[in-house]
Amino acid sequence: MGRKWHAVAALGVAFAATAAAVAADRGLSLVGAAVAPEEEMGLLKKVANLLWKSGANTYQHVWPPMQFSWQIVLGTLIGFFGAAFGSVGGVGGGGIFVPMLTLIIGFDPKSSTAISKCMIMGASVSTVYYNLKLKHPTLDMPVIDYDLAVLIQPMLMLGISIGVIFNVIFPDWLVTVLLIILFLGTSTKAFLKGIETWKKETIIQREAAKRLEQTAGEEVEYAPLPTGPSAAGGTKAPPSDEAASIMQNIQWKEFGLLSFVWVAFLVLQVTKNYTATCSPWYWVLNLLQVPVSVGVTMYEGLGLMSGKRVLSSKGSEQSTLKLHQIFIYGFFGIAAGLVGGLLGLGGGFIMGPLFLELGIPPQVSSATATFAMMFSSSMSVVEYYLLNRFPVPYAVYFVIVAFIAAIIGQHVVRRLINWLGRASLIIFILAFMIFVSAISLGGVGISNMVYKIAQHEYMGFQDLCKYDA
């Protein structure tokens, strides 16, 4: 009973404080006066209007003219290094691109998000082209795990479509809060995984040093972790990480399934562009994406559950998946796509740490995440283009920059891994990129929030049905 009365008293104090604030705001005295029901409704109406105004759409695009300047030079350098590191970590680099485009080039945040997706597409296409000729670090299979991509990528693209819609609706402050929480968590998780992998690599190198002493000076080549970060060792690495033929290194059936999903989504998006926003056909075309993505994912999932298909990149840790695991992977695929569409980032910020937790080697994790991002980012670019969200000349220029940077980054880091014997470098680059993205995007978001508060600007949700890019 004592606790109950304390709770009642606390509620009473809170109510009195609220009433005092309302009265002070209206210049009224609390002495001998009660708060009228109309005044209480007025306070609630203020809160509702802060978050939502019917038909409100105050957003204005800012597209600076494309001309040679120090902004272009500096933005190119930052974009180059962002694409190089982002392609290695399998995250795309959007966490670097968006602040660069906003603070240096001068685009508005949502246009920066769209151009960022163009750069991610350029970097991912370049990286996939580079990886097509590479083999798994320890197994006789492509470095890209096509079965894993088929399981994740359709749900990733469904999440992208949802994220693009949320990008129009959500206020900037909510996006900032979600971004900081998500990225700090995933960067910490990836960093801890990197430390764990580093320690295992150190053990392998010590064992190699002992064998070197026993063999009287014979050279011992670097052997990557046998079956991923959680493996114990024992499998001999193949003599070369390059496939004899690119055509033979591609699993065409899985590639065809992914291409089918991409084409189906493209047709639906293009058709949707000729319907009125929020019309019945608009929502029908959006909902038709669900059976396409779920159907392909469940087709792959049933194969993995029955044992007809396996996640080959896990090596000796291969096992049939359970139904709840299929749903979990699908959920993470949607979550990664939603983050990518909402923030203009690569879904690798979610997929990278997820693949590592599954026991996928860092090289395969990065290559597979980038492969899936190639499809999803290109779909985002199509959607943003149909929404008229970016200027084409700027987009083409930065796509070229990202394409070149990604090839150089892949080549340099591949050489470093072979020289140092540390595939964990990829995991640390992943953690670093996510952390830098949290700081840069979070800082830009907080700065925008402070400015809007000072200017008393509307900070609520936008009306999708009234949106006109």
Number of domains in the chain: 1
Please check whether residue 49 lies inside any domain of the structure: no
The pair of structure tokens assigned to 449 is 């929030």
Please check whether residue 56 lies inside any domain of the structure: no
DSSP 98: H
Instruction: Tabulate helix, strand, coil % of the chain (nearest 5).
Output: 70, 0, 25
Please check whether residue 26 lies inside any domain of the structure: no
Q: What is the pLDDT along the chain (469 residues), one digit of tens a residue?
A: 444 444 444 434 444 444 434 444 434 443 444 444 555 555 555 544 544 554 555 556 677 777 888 888 998 998 898 888 877 766 667 778 888 888 888 887 778 878 888 888 888 888 888 888 777 766 667 778 888 888 888 888 888 788 878 877 877 777 778 778 877 887 887 788 788 888 887 887 787 777 777 765 555 454 554 444 444 444 444 445 565 567 777 878 888 888 898 889 888 888 887 888 788 888 898 899 899 888 988 888 888 887 777 666 555 555 577 788 788 888 888 887 787 777 656 666 777 777 777 777 777 888 888 888 788 778 778 877 877 778 888 889 999 999 999 888 888 877 887 787 777 787 788 788 778 878 877 777 788 778 778 877 776 777 677 665 4
Please check whether residue 39 lies inside any domain of the structure: no
For the chain, give the number of residues. Answer: 469
Please check whether residue 210 lies inside any domain of the structure: no
For 129-157, the DSSP string reads: HHHTTBB-SSSSSBSS-HHHHHHHHHHHH
Please check whether residue 351 lies inside any domain of the structure: yes
3-state secondary structure of 52: strand
Please check whether residue 319 lies inside any domain of the structure: yes
The pair of structure tokens assigned to 245 is 């033929």
* Cα–Cα distance list, 146 to 136, 226, 246, 301, 413 (Å): 12, 19, 14, 13, 23
Q: What is the dihedral of CA 395, 396, 401, 407, to 10 degrees?
A: 110
348, 437 Cβ separation under 8 angstroms: no
Please check whether residue 44 lies inside any domain of the structure: no
**Residue among 80, 91, 78, 116 at smallest CA distance from 412:** 80
Q: Which domain holds residue 152?
A: 69-205+252-455
Buried/exposed 425-457: b ≥16 CB within 10 Å, e otherwise:
bbbbbbbbbbbbbbebbbebbeebbeeeeeeee
**Residue among 368, 366, 437, 364 at smallest CA distance from 187:** 437
